[in-house]
Amino acid sequence: MKTYTANIKLATNSRVELVNITQRVSEALRGAGIKNGLLLVFTRHTTSALTINEDEHRLKRDLLELLEKLVPSDADYRHNEIDNNADAHLRSSLMQPFLIIPVINGSLQLGTWQSLFFVELDGPRNREVIVTIIGE
């Protein structure tokens, strides 16, 4: 059993944005020298999330619009009394801070239409995502 960790640094460009990190996570896996196991992606921020979905621009807009419907950015939140980003924290809690993907024969077992996305909810900011791979 072996473990490997890599950090991915991201500079996001918008307040709310989906950033496809599949390529960068795959590069981390190549550097790991692990053929079979599990790959964990983890975001270290309370105003971001991770998700897996299709990289199709209309779907990405639909997802961001769904977040706006579920957690409107202009609603009245208590956290905004100290920090004007309650919507971002709440949206983050509806999603998840991590993804786990099986690794077989050195490759991520993603389906044809599956991409890994970093979900920026309070950008633009500099962000850091950790990739940890456990296996043999």
Question: Which of the 8 DSSP states describes residue 83?
Answer: S
12 binds Zn ion (CB under 5 A): no
Q: How far is CA 24 from CA 10, 12, 108, in A?
A: 10, 15, 12
| C-beta closer to Zn ion: residue 86 or 101 | 86
How many degrees, rounded to 5, is the angle at CA 95 between CA 112 and CA 77?
A: 150
> What tokens does 117 get?
């996305």
Minimum distance from CB of 98 to Zn ion (Å)?
20
Residue whose CB is less far from Zn ion, 3 or 14: 14
Six token digits for residue 33 = 């020298």
Residue 84 CB, nearest approach to Zn ion (Å)? 8
Q: Which is nearer to Zn ion, 54 or 83 (CB)?
A: 83
x-or-dash string of contact with Zn ion, 78-117, rule CB under 5 A: -----x-x--------------------------------
Q: Given the complex with Zn ion, which of 62 and 83 has the nearer CB atom?
A: 83
Strand residues in 12-110 grouped as ranges (E): 17-20, 37-43, 48-53, 98-104, 107-108
Can you give the binding site for Zn ion, defined by CB under 5 A? 83, 85
